[in-house]
Structure 1
Amino acid sequence: MPVAIFDLDETLIDGDCSTLWCEHMGRLGWVDPESFMRRNNEMMDAYKAGELAMEDYMAFSLEPMAGRTPEEVEHLVGPWVEDVIEPIIFSDACKAIAEHRTQGDRILVISASSVHLVAPIAERLGIDEVLAIDLDVQHGVYSGATTGTLTYQQGKVARLMQWLDAEGENLEGASFYSDSRNDLPLLQTVDHPHVVNPDPVLLEHAREAGWPIHHWK
């Protein structure tokens, strides 16, 4: 069946879940809020410019979770999703997801954020199939490292191809929705690319390519 693929940050939600979680770690007392968010925002600026080394960002953003159990973190992520994320879900995104479901498409979220955030957010949207950055667990606690191919830029294509092969699916008739220039490799791979509230580089590319441009609220 056709697959409808959605980016998460700034596409399904009006914000970046990794940044919002970093702010929450400051509220929890896990980090110094001022210095940690200063560094986070510097790295997010590099992301927006298509210049971020994702390995560096993950090492930075996961360090406060090292030594904590997945269960401890999950217990805190649930209320955070309800309080912080639910109010910024784009209503137009919900409509697009519903339309694809009505058409019988298989829905997948693929994000360059960590799976411990992406999976529960997708669940709130009624989506249970997710590809995101996987986290390493050693002796029952997070190590602060990632595992596997990072779902970032070309890595999204690589992980999607692995998933399609494992699931017996293909990209015939597939759609992908994203806001970011970082997702051009995947947008150029699917039959039906869609750009959502695009950054300037992606907007120019979409106009030249004749891709649908959505302004979701």
Structure 2
Amino acid sequence: MLQIALFDLDHTLIPFDTGLAWTDFLIARGVFDDAVRVTYLDHCRQYAAGTLDIREMQRANVGALREVPPADVARWIDDFREHLRPRVPAATRALVDGHCARGDLCAIVTATPRFLAEPLAALFEVPHLLASESAVDARGHRTGEVEGEPCYRAHKIDHVQRWLAARGHSLQTVGRSWFYSDSANDLPLLQVVSDPVAVAPDARLRAHALAQGWPVIDPSPHCG
């Protein structure tokens, strides 16, 4: 019977935020100024508080690329992947590799825009990526709008169900299903898999996981 392993990205597989790493990467190249970082950090605080409007966050961060030629963005993404390579923790890489070696169908499920999550999916060699889709205009430039429903909070369930339906399955018909996450924002999906796992969880998720008897993984601060 099919088994699946789902992984949140930021602060779960990696001990940092992809969007912030991207923002700092472009600030260092003179593409963004420090004001973009301040705005991004404010959105991060909203995320932690559970009050984030994910569409507004992406309008601010991805929308800052609206006038950048797609070829430039593509080149930066290639450089970004190599910039992140040494920051991939061995422990979470081994976790993913273990599921893949067992034959589990593996996917990263993240609110991060697909074009930013793809470099990390490649580094982890995860074959499937469920992410928020960034709209583009007639020129191929990213507008900052989210196309369809963002892969965020309860909508992560919808993204997973559509992905499984394309393979003739659903969350109800697979065997075991794991989901690893750090955030209480992911409780909707954590609560519908057979094996929820909290990874370096925030305070709200830690309390919930301990109350429910879910496994809690606290990676060493020296990992990666």
**For 1:183, what is the secondary structure of its paired residue?**
helix
**How many positions carry a matched residue from both structures?**
215
The CA distance in 2 between the partners of 1:205 and 1:102, in whole Å, is 30
The one-character-per-residue Cα deviations of 1:22-48 (angstroms, maximum 9, x if unpaired) are 112222323222x22111111101111
The CA distance in 2 between the partners of 1:32 and 1:113, in whole Å, is 21
Q: Contact (CA 8 Å) 1:69, 1:142: kept in 2 or not?
A: no
Between 1:42-51 and 1:203-212, the stretch displaced more is 42-51
Matches within 5 A, 1:72-83: 72-83=72-83
**For 2:166, what is the secondary structure of its paired residue?**
helix
The CA distance in 2 between the partners of 1:71 and 1:15, in whole Å, is 27
> Who is 1:97 aligned against?
96
Q: Contact (CA 8 Å) 2:55, 2:145: kept in 1 or not?
A: no
Q: Contact (CA 8 Å) 2:12, 2:199: kept in 1 or not?
A: yes
Between 1:158-167 and 1:62-71, the stretch displaced more is 62-71
> Who is 2:163 aligned against?
163
**For 1:167, what is the secondary structure of its paired residue?**
coil
Change (3 A) 1:71 1:131: farther
Gaps of 5+ in 2: none
Q: Contact (CA 8 Å) 2:80, 2:119: kept in 1 or not?
A: no
AA partner of residue 198 (structure 1): P
Gaps of 5+ in 1: none
Report the Cα offset of residue 82 of structure 1: 1.4
> Who is 2:207 aligned against?
204
In the superposition, the TM-score normalised over structure 2's length comes to: 0.91
> Who is 2:118 aligned against?
119
> Who is 1:26 aligned against?
27
The CA distance in 2 between the partners of 1:28 and 1:63, in whole Å, is 18
Q: Contact (CA 8 Å) 1:119, 1:128: kept in 2 or not?
A: no
The CA distance in 2 between the partners of 1:71 and 1:2, in whole Å, is 38
The CA distance in 2 between the partners of 1:42 and 1:137, in whole Å, is 25
> Who is 2:131 aligned against?
132
AA partner of residue 23 (structure 2): C
> Who is 1:42 aligned against?
42
Report the Cα offset of residue 120 of structure 1: 1.6
The one-character-per-residue Cα deviations of 1:49-80 (angstroms, maximum 9, x if unpaired) are 11111111011101221133443212111221
The CA distance in 2 between the partners of 1:45 and 1:15, in whole Å, is 14
> Who is 1:213 aligned against?
216
The CA distance in 2 between the partners of 1:179 and 1:209, in whole Å, is 15
**What percentage of residue pairs aligned between the two structures are identical?**
29
The CA distance in 2 between the partners of 1:170 and 1:144, in whole Å, is 31
Q: Contact (CA 8 Å) 2:113, 2:133: kept in 1 or not?
A: yes
RMSD: 1.3
